[in-house]
Amino acid sequence: MLPPSTQGRAPPDLGLLSRQLAAEVAADRTLANRLEQEVGPLELRVHQAQEDLSLSRMQAKDAFDIQQRMTDLERSLEGQIHAAKEQLLRLGEERRQLTELFCSGAVDKERASSSRQLLEQVLDEEARALEETRAANVFLEESCRGLLQQLSFYESERASLSREVEDETAAQDSHEQAAHHAHARTFTALSGRPDPRSRPGV
């Protein structure tokens, strides 16, 4: 015997419930596909943005490293230039002092020998610098000589081409004049009239 709460109530329609459940599953599946379609390009954009950011960071790091190396190199060169200037000043001052000592005669044999060696060292350094300057001048002179030779060759080629163009132009003008005269003589012969250019004095 059925309970009082179920008496007079129709049994549930299992077919209807099944169709409703199937419709809900289909709707959920459609929503999931739509979300997947929307999320897919978004994930690609996020991945591309992450790669671009990583590449930008690498490029920024490379640029920073290059700038740091250039700064270090600039500082090193400045230090070398400063040290070279100080050494030149020191050598100049020592040479001046030694010259004064030699002139005054207030120098002993040992100190004179040491001073002579120092002067020879200074002389060797100046001679080496002079030789480097001379070599640089020779290189520049050879480069200038080579450039002048190339320039002379190009000028000669240009003059030769100009003469060829002038000769070709003159030959073409002469050919056109000869063709014009021949055409005029032919026209005069066909018309039975004398060529006015064939008269004496013309």
Is residue 103 within 8 A of residue 95, CB to CB? The reply is: no
For residues 156 and 154, what is the distance between their CA atoms, to the nearest angstrom? 5
* Residue 121: inside a domain: no
Stated length of the chain? 202
In a domain, 43, yes or no: yes
pLDDT given for residue 186 in this prediction: 58
DSSP designation for 3:
-
Q: Is residue 74 part of a domain?
A: yes
Look at 9-13, 40-44, 105-109 and tell me which has the smallest mean pLDDT: 105-109
Mean pLDDT of 94-115: 67
Query: Does residue 176 lie in a domain region?
Result: no
Contact between residue 95 and residue 120 where contact means Cβ atoms under 8 Å apart: no
Query: Within a domain: residue 175?
Result: no
- pLDDT for the residue 191: 53
Q: Convert the pLDDT of each residue in 118-140 to its tens digit.
A: 777 877 887 787 777 777 777 77
Q: How far apart are the first and last CA of the chain?
A: 151
With respect to residue 44, please indicate whether it lies within any of the assigned structural domains: yes
Asked, for residue 159, whether it belongs to a domain, the answer is: no
In whole angstroms, give the CA distance from residue 148 to residue 155. Answer: 10
With vertex at residue 194, the alpha carbon angle to CA 190 and CA 195, rounded to the nearest 5 degrees, is 95
Q: Is the pLDDT of residue 183 over 80?
A: no
C-alpha dist (Å) from residue 77 to 66, 67, 84, 133:
16, 15, 10, 20
The residue among 161 and 21 whose pLDDT is bigger is: 21
Burial class (CB in 10 A: 0-12, 13-18, 19+), 184: middle
Number of domains in the chain: 1
Mean pLDDT across the chain, nearest whole number? 70
Could you give the CA distance from residue 50 to residue 57 in angstroms, rounded to a whole number? 11
Task: Give residue 185's pLDDT.
Answer: 61
What does the alpha-carbon distance between residue 71 and residue 124 come to, in Å, rounded to a whole number?
34
| Exposure of 111 in the CB half-sphere (CA atoms within 13 A) | 10
Residues 10 and 185: their CA atoms lie apart, in Å, by 129
Domain, as residue range, for 33: 23-88
Instruction: Give the pLDDT band of residue 187 (cuts 50, 70, 90).
Output: low
